[in-house]
Structure 1
Amino acid sequence: MILRDRAARALLASTALLGIGMGVYLLALGQLLFRFTGGPAAFALILTLQGIGAICVLPFSGPLVDVLDSRHVYVLCSVLRAVVVCGVAVMALADVPGAVPLIGVGVVLLAVFDNVQRAALFKFTAWHVDAGHRARLNGLLNVAIQAGALSGMALLGVMLLWTSLPVALFVDGLVSLASAALMIAARPTGAEPRRPLTGTVLRAALPGTFRDWNGMFRRYRGEGVVLAMVVLCAADFVFQASLSTLVVPLVNENYGGRGQYVSVFEGVFALGMVASSLFLRYTVRQRLLPLWAALQAAAPLVLTATDAPPLQMAAVFVAGAANLNSVTWLITTLQEHAGAEEKGKMASVRLLSIGVGTVALMPLIGHATAVSLGTGFLTVSAVAVAFTVLSVVVAARYRPRDPSADLPLPGERTSPVPS
């Protein structure tokens, strides 16, 4: 059983704590920016900057993670995240003039650390979890994040009864440090490809990065369906980000601006993911991928077609369940498809797609929402429909990779990687 594995337990607990921090951070940041600017456009812009940060770092994060210990990288990113979040809290607490641009800088740094950490998580799971348990663990990791986010949202609601949004961000920083401590204590079995970080390795980093990426793209150049899967990874993230962006004006317009309803909507989405996790062995299927994409496309239509809270909550719940099934299948399949020394780079390609999708689509959604809330939801649905069409192609055409593809290409030199 997967929970008997000490490394898996530590990873789940650490991820849950990060989820708590994310729940506090996203809601607190969204409300801070709404308070500073009076509209949702700033939050959409911040998410766009987050995507830009991801795009800048991801060409280098995958090769970096591939040659380093994934657990050490994960821990360092948690510590650096705590430092930056506390810096944002200080700016908000001191009411620094021009705080919004400075917060944008902090968000870019957080995107850098977050995406390097996600690449490390991808590699750690691929190397230290049995292949038969990998889909289950990927589902549980997403549930841990969402359950943690649900707890973080509830925690934020309680904290705001006696303290302020900046103080809540300080709590998020402490949670990130606790997450790092859990992974420090983990002792995974087995070795993973890595090299000592010597001066020689650093001097060869840039040419080595280009060489590694070239070798990977040569392997996958005839597999357009894999590229389509990578693009679909952006769909799941953009959908979540869009709901987080639109839920604040939705509550402001239909629920009297009562902040607790923001937590309720985000919590219902997380509950949908948690409930769906109980059935992953039946629902994480290639042929069901278009269904999960279509359900996400339908949810914004329900949110704009009715003001009835039960129907709106049901739509968000179903969207959360569909989102988990889609992202679990995509992550697990990409982990299995990547070559032995390409786990980190495959994670980077996936996260790069998320960054590009965020930069390309979030300004469009922010602009549409500035026209009207209904226009914003219709735009999200239209984007999701386009991704649904792509998911039909993936479900029909993807075939698992032949393990012999891990053999070197003709004329390609390989060398053992010391562990």
Structure 2
Amino acid sequence: MWRHRTARTLLLSIALLGIGMGVYLLALGQLLYQLTGSPQGFALVLTLQGVAAVCVLPFTGPLVDALDSRRVHIVCSLGRAVTVAALAVAGLTRPPGAVIWIAAGALLLAVFDNVQRAALFKYTAWHIEPSDRARLNGLINVAVQIGALSGMALLGLMLVWTSVATALLADTAVALAVAALVLGLPAQRTEEPHHPAASVLRTALPLTLRDWREMSHRYRGDLAMLGIIVLCAADFVFQSSVSTLIVPLVAEHYDGQGQYVSLLEAVFALGMIASSPFTRHTQRRALLPLWCALQAAAAVALAATPHPAAHFTALFVAGFANLSSLTWLITTLQTRAGPREKAKMASLRMLSIRLATTALMPLIGHFAALSLTGGFLTTAAVMLLFTTLATLTVTRPPTPGTPPPAEPRAGLLARPK
């Protein structure tokens, strides 16, 4: 796979996105903690991002399915670069209502991020052979985590000589680099013919209603598929909870030493990376409840003890389980989606994530404000609910009459040109 230019370019661009996200999430979390003195500020921003995504995702799938996914990806990268630069300026100048301005920028980033992910999901589904998707999806998530580790390390170095707000500009540079890389990808000869952007935008609402109606008819009554879509939220709710609770965890048990924020997040990312070599063993339907249960157990361990060794072990195990679950769910959705449903399936996945984040993060943030232990135990309870759903989903066979759809013809990885 590494011999193929398209795969290499995708993985490199995703690693760069991971660097930008590693810098952005940690820097934004610390900036909001400085401005508000509470983890609720970051939890609120995550909630608002969920609201923005819920509003835009019903249109995202049909639009991306009708457009050139590579061009959509590039436009989103450029939009991200401009928005993060504006957030950095707001953090440096701290105008009246700075938190509101930062929240508004985070809302716009949520729009760009979700559209970009739908474009990546579609591009991968069209250009990667079905037999290679689990492997590439695992490598994609490893690339994200390696990038995130690099971003965390970069942020730690930058904070030695600059402010958190200035560090956000690193994400701007990364987004511009991603746009340049994706611009160099091969022409998309294997995708369904797309329509001019102006034509699609003029017919956005009728197109959206028609496409969702057709898709809902196709999967009507397939409860196993519905369970898989809902379960896509589990891993991201856990990740968001970790990001929210890491700063107060360090404040309570590590004397507020900022480097431990990066270190603990890095251990979680290392756990995700460690699962990649075992893809052939972890990508089994029957193991899905185990991955959810391990994340619940990790949250209990983080609540139960102040010892660093227990924190590191719990986060490593949680990262391993998180990526194992995430990879299986993405690969299954890419395989089950029809040729004209790739981006819409990505939208359903992200809509599930955002709805769950919007509903659950205020709850977790509320209990985290009362006590750190309460925040982690609430996270554990949420993951136990997802474990129950995973058990019901994997024991239920696919509904008759909704077999996996035919796959698109071989992509670039199957026949290198």
- TM-score computed with the length of structure 2 as normaliser: 0.95
Q: Secondary structure of the residue that 2:2 maps to in structure 1?
A: helix
Where in structure 2 are the equivalents of 1:18-29 lying within 5 Å? 18-29=17-28
Establish whether residue 176 from structure 1 lines up as the match of residue 175 from structure 2: yes
- Write out the 4+ residue segments of structure 1 that deviate beyond 4 Å after TM superposition: 403-406
How far did residue 8 of structure 1 move? 1.1
Q: Deviations over 1:336-392 (max 9, x none)?
A: 001110001000000001110011000000001111110111000000000000011
User: What CA distance in whole angstroms lies between the structure 2 residues aligned with 1:277 and 1:199?
Assistant: 41
Q: What is the aligned partner in structure 2 of residue 317 from structure 1?
A: 316
User: What CA distance in whole angstroms lies between the structure 2 residues aligned with 1:253 and 1:198?
Assistant: 51
Q: What is the aligned partner in structure 2 of residue 393 from structure 1?
A: 392
User: What CA distance in whole angstroms lies between the structure 2 residues aligned with 1:102 and 1:398?
Assistant: 48
Q: What is the aligned partner in structure 2 of residue 308 from structure 1?
A: 307
Q: What is the aligned partner in structure 1 of residue 217 from structure 2?
A: 218
Q: Secondary structure of the residue that 2:160 maps to in structure 1?
A: coil
Where in structure 2 are the equivalents of 1:31-50 lying within 5 Å? 31-50=30-49
Alignment-mate amino acid for residue 117 of structure 1: Q
Q: What is the aligned partner in structure 1 of residue 62 from structure 2?
A: 63
Q: What is the aligned partner in structure 1 of residue 254 from structure 2?
A: 255
User: What CA distance in whole angstroms lies between the structure 2 residues aligned with 1:375 and 1:248?
Assistant: 15
Alignment-mate amino acid for residue 254 of structure 1: H
Q: What is the aligned partner in structure 1 of residue 403 from structure 2?
A: 402
User: What CA distance in whole angstroms lies between the structure 1 residues aligned with 2:345 and 2:216?
Assistant: 10
Q: What is the aligned partner in structure 1 of residue 137 from structure 2?
A: 138
Q: What is the aligned partner in structure 1 of residue 282 from structure 2?
A: 283
Q: What is the aligned partner in structure 2 of residue 245 from structure 1?
A: 244
Q: Do the aligned partners of 2:56 and 2:111 also contact (CA within 8 Å) in 1? A: yes
Counterparts in 2 of 1:7 and 1:404: CA distance versus 1, 3 Å: closer
Q: What is the aligned partner in structure 2 of residue 195 from structure 1?
A: 194
* Structure 2 unmatched runs, 5+: 408-417
Q: What is the aligned partner in structure 1 of residue 107 from structure 2?
A: 108
How far did residue 204 of structure 1 move? 2.2
Q: Secondary structure of the residue that 1:402 maps to in structure 2?
A: coil
Establish whether residue 147 from structure 1 lines up as the match of residue 142 from structure 2: no
Q: Do the aligned partners of 1:128 and 1:188 also contact (CA within 8 Å) in 2? A: no
Counterparts in 2 of 1:91 and 1:15: CA distance versus 1, 3 Å: same
Alignment-mate amino acid for residue 174 of structure 2: V
Q: What is the aligned partner in structure 2 of residue 417 from structure 1?
A: none
Establish whether residue 80 from structure 1 lines up as the match of residue 79 from structure 2: yes
Counterparts in 2 of 1:192 and 1:404: CA distance versus 1, 3 Å: closer
User: What CA distance in whole angstroms lies between the structure 2 residues aligned with 1:202 and 1:42?
Assistant: 35
Alignment-mate amino acid for residue 27 of structure 1: L
Aligned sequence identity (%): 61
How far did residue 398 of structure 1 move? 4.2
How far did residue 189 of structure 1 move? 6.0
Q: What is the aligned partner in structure 1 of residue 410 from structure 2?
A: none
Q: What is the aligned partner in structure 1 of residue 8 from structure 2?
A: 9
Alignment-mate amino acid for residue 244 of structure 1: S
Q: Secondary structure of the residue that 1:257 maps to in structure 2?
A: coil
Tell me the C-alpha RMSD between the 2 structures: 1.3
User: What CA distance in whole angstroms lies between the structure 1 residues aligned with 2:204 and 2:55?
Assistant: 16
Q: Do the aligned partners of 2:80 and 2:172 also contact (CA within 8 Å) in 1? A: yes
Q: Do the aligned partners of 2:158 and 2:167 also contact (CA within 8 Å) in 1? A: yes
User: What CA distance in whole angstroms lies between the structure 1 residues aligned with 2:406 and 2:2?
Assistant: 32
Q: Deviations over 1:287-307 (max 9, x none)?
A: 111110100010011011111
Q: What is the aligned partner in structure 2 of residue 341 from structure 1?
A: 340
* Structure 1 unmatched runs, 5+: 407-419
User: What CA distance in whole angstroms lies between the structure 2 residues aligned with 1:198 and 1:320?
Assistant: 39
User: What CA distance in whole angstroms lies between the structure 2 residues aligned with 1:225 and 1:395?
Assistant: 7
User: What CA distance in whole angstroms lies between the structure 1 residues aligned with 2:363 and 2:232?
Assistant: 19
Q: Do the aligned partners of 1:7 and 1:188 also contact (CA within 8 Å) in 2? A: no
Q: Deviations over 1:22-69 (max 9, x none)?
A: 000000000000000111010000000010111011000100110111
Where in structure 2 are the equivalents of 1:294-305 lying within 5 Å? 294-305=293-304
How far did residue 327 of structure 1 move? 0.5
Q: Do the aligned partners of 1:6 and 1:188 also contact (CA within 8 Å) in 2? A: no
